[in-house]
Amino acid sequence: MSSEPRPAWVLVVDDDPRWCEVIQWALEEEGFAVASASDPDGAVAAATTHRPSVIVLDYGLPRQDGDILAERLRQVIGTAAPIVLITADGRASEKAERVRAVGYLHKPFELDDLVGAVTQAIGRA
């Protein structure tokens, strides 16, 4: 049995496949295990399967906004996984407060800032 620590799981939820791909690549480069979903139902399924350490959540998903999805995810996995909110909207801090996110980033953002926010969120868990 290996003594290597298991990587922290990050669930990335964004309806834009390019953002999912870039975020996943950046986090995997830093040693995180990453699952991604492009819609609310896929996010709930991935959260159930992977039990993420942190969730990177795009607020502006079609069919269900970040408020509702954050609550659904908490019902499935509890409150242990902190949320880092990402949004292109100028009201990111207001939205982050509504979903009880531990941090937020405005799109477009620097990948180093994303990695830092995820690392900090995992430290809070």
Question: Is 4 among the domain residues?
Answer: no
Angular region, 30: left φ>0, alpha ψ -120 to 50, beta rest: alpha
Q: Is residue 2 part of a domain?
A: no
Specify the pLDDT at position 1.
Answer: 47
pLDDT tens digits for range 80-116: 799 999 998 888 899 999 999 999 999 999 999 999 9
**3 within some domain:** no
Q: Is residue 1 part of a domain?
A: no
Q: What is the mean pLDDT of the chain?
A: 91
Q: How much is the pLDDT for 7?
A: 79
Residues of the chain with pLDDT under 70: 1-6, 124-125
For the chain, how many structural domains are there in total? Answer: 1
DSSP state at residue 105 = E
Residue percentage of the chain with pLDDT more than 70: 94
In a domain, 92, yes or no: yes
Q: Is the peptide bond before 7 cis (omega within 30 degrees of 0)?
A: no
CATH number of the domain to which 32 belongs: 3.40.50.2300
Q: What is the pTM of this model?
A: 0.92
Residue 78 falls within a domain, yes or no? yes
- Render 24-88 in DSSP notation, one character per residue: HHHHHHTT-EEEEESSHHHHHHHHHHH--SEEEEES--TTS-HHHHHHHHHHHHTT-S-EEEEES
Q: Give the residue numbers spanning the domain of 45.
A: 9-124
